[in-house]
Amino acid sequence: MPKHYQLSALEATRQIRNQELSCEEYILSIFERINKTEVKVRAFVTLLREQAIEKAKEVDNLVKKQEKLSLLSGVPIAIKDVICTNGVRTTCSSRMLKDFVPPYDATVVNKLNSAGAIIVGKTNMDEFAMGSTTETSFFGPTRNPWNLDKVPGGSSGGSAAAVIAEDVPLALGSDTGGSVRCPASYCSVVGLKPTYGLVSRYGLISYANSLEQIGPFARTVEDCALLLSIISGHDDRDSTSVNLPSKDYVSLLKSEDETNRLRIGVPHEFFGEGVDNDVKDTVWEAISKLESLGCTYDEVSIPSVSYALAAYYIIAMSEASSNLARYDGLRYGFRQEKDEGDWATVYAKNRKEGFGAEVRRRIILGTYALSAGYYDQYYLKALKVRTVLRRDFERAFKEFDVLVGPTMPLLPFNIGEKIDDPLTLYMCDVLTVPANLTGYPAMSVPCGFKNDLPVGMQIIGKSFNEETILRVAHLFEQSTDFHLRRPRL
């Protein structure tokens, strides 16, 4: 018998509905589990124990009164600390926002509350979502549950670590250049970046608006599909969110018998220089597995992928420099004890003390790329690369239903190993940023282990066609056991 905290979201809500499991008991077991793992992993910035137990009691009351429950009734979820929660501090893991308490909920949080989910805490991340390791957090790093010396990936490292540590069955992250897929790969969970525009970003604290989406984490593809069904959909408060009919991604997992005949494209740039051989071998084995299940595959070339990383960092830093201009410590945010000097001096001091080194680096580089005289050389050129990349992907998608490759070029590395070498760290995003620049949906699925460390397979799909990547992931998951493995904690 699995312990309560080990249940999937679908199973937990079913048991609560059928009165096989008291929600209060379930949530208590979740916090007991968190108490045990948190001393080692440090996935959370804020825990909401009392509030969660109160909500659990409310769910139990509804069950007793035989009232209709919602899709996620009683299911615990963790939220990346970049997503605003009314009355609960939202820090972006930054000193700048360490005491910031939003007066409103993000749209995704509203949707989760309406669906009956129980928010158990806010998770650790790289400061302002800038990073791939969760090491730049003001609160200290999160550790990889598979090996506590290793990074969990980032920037949504706390969310992915909490899911594989069995603290929660579900979590939310945000993905600007890979921040859902990278930690999903490093922690061996399922993580999905939706198509640009599928999920409202109202209440997501911006890093680079033209690139980012909020995305789900889960231990199974089904749970991931369930969470996506709940958070997706049009929102008047986010003008980039599209108005499409909503989908039930869980039933779409099953309703198609075409899955096995899908055409998979394997971009050979995804297996190029800099990609670890262990990673390549593991992902090729996964592709062969998909072939044995009836899919066909062929190699394809997407030449502009080699320019994607440079274009991404110029665009992301430019947008960041503009977005982060609002933090002056005057209206809100970190403020030095004494204001000394003129306005500009006070402003500069607040920002210097409030932001960490990586955030400051990006503000400076982004400001540079946007400045008169350099704008054409950097920012404008990066936008042109973006258009070419989009065209190359469109061409590939004429031939293939999905594109498959590794999520990360390297296995999880040691905490502290790359933090002083930003360029090497940026290179780790080489395979994830193309989906953000083009807007296509992409996910990472556990596909094997090397040296006891997880490897993730990335599946990229056509716009607003999340059901197809989820189906490929599901097909793979159903005939492998990687998703069943757990770290010893």
**Active-site positions?**
80, 155, 179
Considering only CA atoms, give the Rg of the chain. Answer: 21
Looking at beta carbons only, is 131 or 333 nearer to ligand GLN?
131
Looking at beta carbons only, is 131 or 216 nearer to ligand GLN?
131
Tell me how far, at minimum, the Cβ of 319 lies from ligand GLN, in Å: 10
Q: Tell which positions 150-189 bind ligand GLN, by CB under 6 A.
A: 155, 175-179
| Of 475, 455, 447, 456, residue with least CA distance to 292 | 475
In contact, 95 and 47? CB cutoff 8 Å:
no
Binding-site member from 37, 91, 132, 213 for ligand GLN (CB under 6 A): 132
Looking at beta carbons only, is 317 or 447 nearer to ligand GLN?
317
Q: Identify the DSSP state of 292.
A: H
Tell me how far, at minimum, the Cβ of 173 lies from ligand GLN, in Å: 9
Looking at beta carbons only, is 177 or 454 nearer to ligand GLN?
177
Beta strand 213-218 with 190-193: parallel, antiparallel or unpaired? antiparallel
Binding of ligand GLN by 130 (CB under 6 A): yes
- Quick one: tokens of 281? 């071998």
State the number of binding residues for ligand GLN (CB under 6 A): 13
- Quick one: tokens of 293? 């299940």
Tell me how far, at minimum, the Cβ of 73 lies from ligand GLN, in Å: 31
Looking at beta carbons only, is 253 or 308 nearer to ligand GLN?
308
Tell me how far, at minimum, the Cβ of 192 lies from ligand GLN, in Å: 13
Whole-angstrom distance, CA of residue 117 vs CA of residue 115? 6
Diameter over CA atoms, the chain: 70
Binding of ligand GLN by 355 (CB under 6 A): no
Stretch that binds ligand GLN, among 22-30, 54-62, 123-131, 405-413 (CB under 6 A): 123-131
Tell me how far, at minimum, the Cβ of 50 lies from ligand GLN, in Å: 31
Binding mask 394-433 for ligand GLN (x = CB under 6 A): -----------------------------------x----
Whole-angstrom distance, CA of residue 358 vs CA of residue 213? 21
Q: Tell which positions 326-345 bind ligand GLN, by CB under 6 A.
A: none
Looking at beta carbons only, is 116 or 131 nearer to ligand GLN?
131
* Residue 405, strand partner residues: 458
Tell me how far, at minimum, the Cβ of 317 lies from ligand GLN, in Å: 8
Tell me how far, at minimum, the Cβ of 55 lies from ligand GLN, in Å: 29
Binding-site member from 74, 116, 131, 158 for ligand GLN (CB under 6 A): 131
Strand ranges across the sheet with 453-461: 44-47, 118-123, 76-80, 170-175, 213-218, 190-193, 442-450, 453-461, 402-406, 263-267, 296-300
- Per the rule left: phi > 0, alpha: psi between -120 and 50, beta: everything else, 118 is beta
Buried b (16+ CB within 10 A) or exposed e, 325-337: eebbbeeebbbee
Tell me how far, at minimum, the Cβ of 141 lies from ligand GLN, in Å: 15
Stretch that binds ligand GLN, among 26-34, 128-136, 225-233, 438-446 (CB under 6 A): 128-136
Whole-angstrom distance, CA of residue 191 vs CA of residue 358? 25
Provide the CA 84 distance to its chain's centre, in angstroms.
Answer: 15
Whole-angstrom distance, CA of residue 195 vs CA of residue 167? 28
Residue 477 has φ and ψ, to the nearest 5°, of -60, -40
Q: Tell which positions 184-243 bind ligand GLN, by CB under 6 A.
A: 207
Whole-angstrom distance, CA of residue 77 vs CA of residue 88? 15
- Quick one: tokens of 112? 């989760």
In contact, 208 and 382? CB cutoff 8 Å:
no
3-state SS of 396-422 is: HHHHCCEEEEECCCCCCCECCCCCCCH
Binding of ligand GLN by 365 (CB under 6 A): no
Could you give the 3-state DSSP secondary structure of residue 113? helix
Looking at beta carbons only, is 177 or 487 nearer to ligand GLN?
177
463 cis-preceded (ω within 30 degrees of 0):
no
Whole-angstrom distance, CA of residue 230 vs CA of residue 239? 19
Tell me how far, at minimum, the Cβ of 193 lies from ligand GLN, in Å: 8
Tell me how far, at minimum, the Cβ of 303 lies from ligand GLN, in Å: 23
Binding mask 138-157 for ligand GLN (x = CB under 6 A): -----------------x--
Helix (H) or strand (E) holding 8: none
Looking at beta carbons only, is 129 or 389 nearer to ligand GLN?
129
Could you give the 3-state DSSP secondary structure of residue 73? coil
Whole-angstrom distance, CA of residue 265 vs CA of residue 6? 35
For ligand GLN, the binding residues (CB under 6 A) are 129-132, 155, 175-179, 207, 316, 429
